[in-house]
Amino acid sequence: TLSDRLTSVLQNLRGKGRLSEADIDATAREIRVALLEADVALPVVRTFIAKVKERAKGAEVSQALNPAQQVVKIVNEELVGILGGETRRLNLAKNPPTVIMLAGLQGAGKTTLAGKLARWLKAQGHTPMLVACDLQRPNAVTQLQVVGQRAGVPVFAPEPGNGVGDPVDVARKGIEEAKRAQHDVVVVDTAGRLGVDEEMMRQAVDIRAAVQPDEVLFVVDAMIGQDAVNTATAFQDGVGFTGVVLTKLDGDARGGAALSVREVTGQPILFASNGEKLEDFDVFHPDRMASRILGMGDMLTLIEQAEQAFDADQAEAAAVKMGSGQLTLEDFLEQMLALRKMGPIANLLGMLPGAGQMKDQLANLDEKHLDRVQAIIRGMTPAERDDPKIINASRRLRIANGSGVRVSDVNDLVNRFFEARKMMSQMAGRFGLPGGGKNNR
Ligand code: GDP
Ligand code: MG
């Protein structure tokens, strides 16, 4: 499987300090084979591999992740990107009713989806109605009536006993009925064939023209694998659609179809069906699908944890330093410079409402004060910055002369620094932060 393959490739990468081009190429070759095995269509695999290679080559070597984890992270991010990034919502008409037409091969799960959509829409406060336009199969209308009943929504169907009706006519009348009865969403179920054929396509085109849908959802069985590309292309060229619904994700399909359909048609995947019951249904989550295609949920979790642990380590190191009273004037200067990079303090404050009049005063006061602080610290030796306790009277005079300030300015800064350090240490102790309460001066 893809998972096994990636795992073995990545084990080879583990332990190396950084990604070399040879590493990336070797990995890319393996991922390519693995994606093909997962039923992703060849052109899609090619595009995908190219993107991953490009990014892996340009990527900075992460401090938090080993090279193996880094590759998986890139592969996963690209997958999520192709699958659509954020979930797209259903297009609702400005003037109801919103018309949603379902299209797809027989057995794809359209009629079941009609019931699921109805239930889901109803739960969100809509008043949906279903329209039965599959007049091909003997039981199709009854099947829709059953799911409609389960969802608790009305179903518009041709009168029984009048012979086989015209699905386009039923569709048109269905929309009229929805308007009359003020249903705000109409779901139009249509007929499918086991294979793509012209007559089915023509009928779908006629229904589309008659009902002018806000969404045409192409319903596709995730188990279809490589065939997804041909079927999706046929429906795209034949009827055209605005969104995709993947069904039967409760099976063991690896999800290659999702990637192929998305990449080949450019249309977003809106929903996912994962069972026969009406509640086995959800909006599509690209991140979950990516993780399913990779089959590496555990590894992705590990990566997230490694990154979080790294951030936490850095934050903790800083906290320990502050809390244990080991903060130096060098740290202080660094933080001040970082802050000042964000722009003059006065500008930052000026963004606050009501701070307008204070701006000139602040510009003179604070910027000058910060300049002075910076000059004083720069006038100190590294030893003095590292351990300000050694700054005695003669050192203070030297620093003052060297940085063009008065001795009292130097005293001021050093005293305030000790105060601040002590306060931080006490706060750390009180809040139980690492290193708290130790080594106060
Ligand atoms: P249609 O021909 O496109 O209308 O497809 P149907 O809605 O009649 O579904 C065909 C078969 O697939 C039925 O037996 C459904 O119960 C089943 N089915 C539909 N969606 C799902 C799904 O998400 N998971 C599973 N396991 N079965 C499904
Ligand atoms: Mg059906």
Per-residue pLDDT tens digits for 272-303: 999 999 999 999 999 888 888 877 667 677 77
Report whether residue 110 contacts ligand 1, using a CB cutoff of 6 Å.
yes
CA of 150 to the centre of ligand 1 (A): 15
Residue 40 CA to residue 8 CA, distance in Å, equals 20
Q: Which residue has the higher pLDDT, 88 or 133?
A: 133
Q: What is the pTM of this model?
A: 0.71
Flag whether pLDDT at 209 surpasses 90.
yes
Contact status, residue 105 vs residue 196, Cβ threshold 8 Å: yes
CA atoms in the 13 A half-sphere facing the CB of 36: 11
**Ligand 1 mean position, distance from CA 193 (Å):** 14
Mean pLDDT over residues 33-46, rounded?
83
- Which of 5 and 218 is assigned the larger pLDDT? 218
Omega prior to 97 cis, within 30 of 0: yes
Is 116 close to ligand 1, i.e. is its CB under 6 Å away?
Answer: no
Q: Which of 106, 112, 190, 273 to mutate to test the pocket of ligand 1 (most atoms within 8 A of CB)?
A: 112
Gap from CA of 245 to ligand 2 centroid (Å): 14
The residues placing their C-beta within 5 Å of ligand 2, an ion, are 110-111
CA of 108 to the centre of ligand 2 (A): 8
Q: How many CA atoms lie within 13 A of 117 on its CB side?
A: 30
For residue 302, the number of C-alpha atoms closer than 13 Å in the C-beta half-sphere is 10
221 alpha carbon to ligand 1 midpoint, in Å? 9
* Spatial CA neighbour of 121 closest among 154, 145, 144, 94: 154
Instruction: List phi, psi (to 5°) of 395.
Output: -65, -40
**Which residues, including other chains, have CB under 8 Å from residue 334's CB and lie 6 or more apart?**
none
Matching CATH topology for 2-85 and 98-284? no
Write the pLDDT tens digit of every residue in 336-372. 665 555 555 555 554 544 444 444 544 554 667 778 8
**Neighbour count for residue 224 (Cβ, 10 Å):** 23
Q: For residue 190, give both structure tokens.
A: 């249509």
- Distance, in Å, from the CA atom of 134 to the CA atom of 35, rounded to the nearest integer, reads 36
Pocket test for ligand 1, best of 120, 276, 284 (most atoms within 8 A of CB): 276
Q: Is 106 in the pocket of ligand 1 (CB under 6 A)?
A: yes
Q: Is 273 helix (H, G, I), strand (E, B) or coil?
A: strand
pLDDT of residue 322: 65
Nearest CA residue ID for atom 10, ligand 1: 107
Coil, strand or helix at 245: strand
What are the Cα distances from residue 301, in Å, to 52, 289, 294?
20, 15, 13
Classify domain 98-284 by CATH number.
3.40.50.300
Atom nearest to 102 CA in ligand 1: 3
CB–CB of 257/232 below 8 Å? no
Give domain 324-430's CATH superfamily.
Answer: Signal recognition particle, SRP54 subunit, M-domain (1.10.260.30)
pLDDT at 15: 46
At 46-73, the pLDDT tens digits run 989 998 988 888 777 777 776 767 777 8
- Gyration radius (Cα) of the chain, Å: 33
Where b means 16+ CB within 10 Å and e means fewer, 184-193 reads bbbbbbbbbe
- The 3-state secondary structure of 191-220 reads CCCCCCCHHHHHHHHHHHHHHCCCEEEEEE
Ligand sitting nearest the alpha carbon of 108: 1
Class of 2-85 per CATH? mainly alpha
What are the boundaries of each domain within the chain? 2-85, 98-284, 324-430
Of 237-241, 317-321, 374-378, 390-394, which range is least confident? 317-321
Q: Which residues, at least 6 apart from 129, have a Cβ–Cβ distance to it below 8 Å?
A: 97, 153, 154, 155, 156, 174, 177, 178, 181, 183, 185, 186, 187
Looking from the CA of residue 273, the nearest atom of ligand 1 is 23
| Top mean-pLDDT range of 8-17, 222-231, 314-323 | 222-231
CB neighbours (10 Å) of residue 305? 10
Q: What is the pLDDT of residue 84?
A: 84
How far is it, in rounded angstroms, from Cα 346 to Cα 351? 9
Separation CA 302–CA 156 (nearest Å): 51
Report whether residue 276 contacts ligand 1, using a CB cutoff of 6 Å: yes
Tell me how far apart the alpha carbons of residues 214 and 89 are, in angstroms, rounded to a whole number.
Answer: 12
Tell me the CA end-to-end span of the chain in Å, nearest whole number. Answer: 61
Look over the chain and give the mean of its residue pLDDT values, rounded to a whole number. Answer: 82
Q: How high is the pLDDT of residue 247?
A: 96
Residue indicated by tokens 């690492």: 434
* Contact of 192 with 113, CB cutoff 8 Å: no
The more confident residue out of 431 and 367 is: 367
Annotated binding site for GTP: 104-111, 189-193, 247-250
Q: How far is CA 398 from the centre of its chain?
A: 57
> What is the average pLDDT across 90-114?
96
Ligand 1 atom nearest the C-alpha of 249 is 23
Please say if the pLDDT value at position 188 is more than 60.
yes
DSSP conformational letter for 226: T
Instruction: Say if strands 128-132 and 185-189 run parallel, antiparallel, or are unpaired.
Output: parallel
Nearest to 134 by CA among 157, 113, 152: 157
Q: Which residue's CA is minimally distant from atom 16 of ligand 1?
A: 276
CB contact at 8 A, 330 and 386: yes
Q: Whose CA is nearest to atom 11 of ligand 1?
A: 107
Binding-site residues sit at: 104-111, 189-193, 247-250
* Residue in the structure block whose two tokens are 């606050």: 352
pLDDT above 70 covers a percentage of the chain that reads: 78
Strands (E) across 227-348 are located at 243-247, 269-273, 281-283
Instruction: Name the band, by pLDDT with cuts 50, 70 and 90, for residue 226.
Output: confident
